[in-house]
């Protein structure tokens, strides 16, 4: 019994240490504003202390990042630039969602999309908070779930190249899904190919009858942008199926998000 009790205590202690390490991450050295993410607010603080100096024995300059000379110079800027856009606590949405490109599929906050972002998304797909698989880095819609909507957000911006740096800070949701910027989406073009065909029909069926925030709801198949994929969207698709969409006016950008 004593051996079993000892083993139990060791396991419990190990789990507690793991959980505390996950929840309490050490912020990057260049994180000057305390959000565990090195970005523009930190740069503003740094610039405000540029070329300042003080007593090395009682230094109050937070931007003195290199050495202990209590001066803010080029060496300190090198530290800041080397840690640019680093976010140390990937379990904290307030840290992850501070990135101005994360909401467009940039899970690792690197400023562009690549295999690393896809790996983060794949590991968390169809999970929601507080599931163990849920990862706020892959929650591009910032609604507590990683679903089809997040997958299509990643695919949309992967296809469109340069990411806009317009994600709102913190837990504020993005303006609307990226595909709602497409000039043909409102006519039934789910995959922004410029035409409405059987591929779009497949995506419509996969999201049929679902409403936001269901994990399988696809806003790109929500042609009237009302938060539900139903007969109204099917009728739109039928009306424009395999037609030349260049003959019609471009769809208006965006809509109400989150849907009412």
Total residue count of the chain as it appears in this document: 260
User: Which carries the bigger pLDDT value, residue 27 or residue 226?
Assistant: 226
Give the pLDDT mean for 48-76.
Answer: 93
For residues 150 and 178, the answer to whether their CB atoms sit within 8 Å is no
| pLDDT at residue 60 in the model | 92
In DSSP terms, 228 is beta-bridged to 211
Q: Which option is the CATH number for 27-88: 3.40.1190.20, 3.10.180.10, 1.10.1330.10, 3.40.1050.10? A: 1.10.1330.10
Residue 208 has pLDDT above 70, yes or no: yes
Indicate if the pLDDT at residue 21 is higher than 70: no
| 53 backbone dihedrals φ, ψ, rounded to 5° | -145, 160
Q: What is the pLDDT of residue 169?
A: 80
CB 63 within 8 A of CB 47: no
Give the H or E element holding residue 21.
helix 2-23
| pLDDT of 205 above 60 | yes
Region for 41 from its dihedrals, namely left if φ exceeds 0, alpha if ψ lies in -120 to 50, beta otherwise = alpha
CATH 1.10.1330.10 range(s) for the chain read 27-88, 178-247
Q: Would the pLDDT of 8 be above 50? A: no
SS3 71: strand
Residues whose CB is less than 8 angstroms from the CB of residue 142 and which lie 6 or more positions away in sequence, other chains included:
93, 97, 103, 136, 171, 172, 173, 174
- 87-96, 169-178, 197-206, 221-230: the lowest-pLDDT one: 87-96
Among the listed ranges 45-59, 78-92, 137-151, which one has the minimum average pLDDT value?
A: 78-92
Q: Across residues 153-159, what is the average pLDDT?
A: 97
Judge whether residue 5 has pLDDT over 50. no
Quote the CATH superfamily of domain 178-247. Dockerin domain (1.10.1330.10)
Q: Are strands 127-128 and 145-146 parallel, antiparallel or unpaired?
A: antiparallel
pLDDT in tens, 92-122: 787 888 888 999 999 998 899 999 999 999 9
Reported pTM = 0.72
The residues with which 146 forms a beta bridge, in sequence order, are 127
- What are 211-221's pLDDT values in tens digits? 999 999 999 99
Quick count: other Cβ atoms within 10 Å of Cβ 209? 12
- pLDDT of res. 25: 54
Domain covering 93-160: architecture: Orthogonal Bundle (1.10)
Structure tokens at 117: 């972002």
What average pLDDT does range 201-206 have in this prediction? 97
Across the chain, mean pLDDT equals 88
Percent of the chain scored above 70 by pLDDT? 90
Element holding 127 (H helix, E strand) = strand 127-128
The pLDDT of residue 13 is: 35
The whole-number pLDDT of residue 86 equals 77
């Amino acid at each position: 019994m004593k051996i079993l009790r000892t083993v139990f205590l060791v396991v419990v202690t190990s789990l507690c240490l793991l959980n505390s390490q996950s929840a309490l991450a050490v912020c990057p050295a260049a994180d000057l504003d305390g959000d565990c993410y090195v970005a523009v607010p930190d740069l503003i603080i740094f610039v405000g202390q540029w070329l300042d100096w003080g007593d090395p024995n009682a230094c109050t300059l937070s931007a003195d990042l290199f050495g202990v000379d209590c001066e803010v110079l080029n060496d300190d800027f090198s530290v800041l630039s080397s840690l640019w856009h680093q976010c140390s606590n990937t379990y904290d949405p307030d840290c992850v969602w501070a990135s101005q490109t994360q909401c467009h599929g940039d899970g690792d906050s690197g400023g562009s999309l690549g295999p690393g972002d896809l790996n983060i998304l794949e590991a968390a797909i169809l999970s929601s908070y507080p599931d163990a698989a849920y990862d706020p880095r892959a929650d591009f819609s910032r609604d507590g779930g990683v679903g089809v909507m997040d997958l299509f957000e990643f695919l949309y911006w992967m296809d469109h190249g340069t990411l806009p740096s317009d994600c709102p800070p913190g837990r504020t949701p993005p303006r609307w899904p990226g595909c709602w910027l497409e000039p043909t989406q409102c006519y039934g073009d789910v995959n922004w190919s410029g035409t409405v065909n059987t591929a779009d029909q497949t995506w419509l069926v996969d999201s049929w009858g679902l409403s936001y925030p269901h994990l399988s709801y696809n806003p790109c198949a929500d042609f009237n942008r009302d938060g539900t994929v139903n007969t109204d969207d099917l009728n739109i698709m039928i009306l424009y199926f395999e037609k030349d969409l260049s003959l019609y006016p471009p769809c208006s950008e965006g809509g109400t998000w989150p849907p009412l």
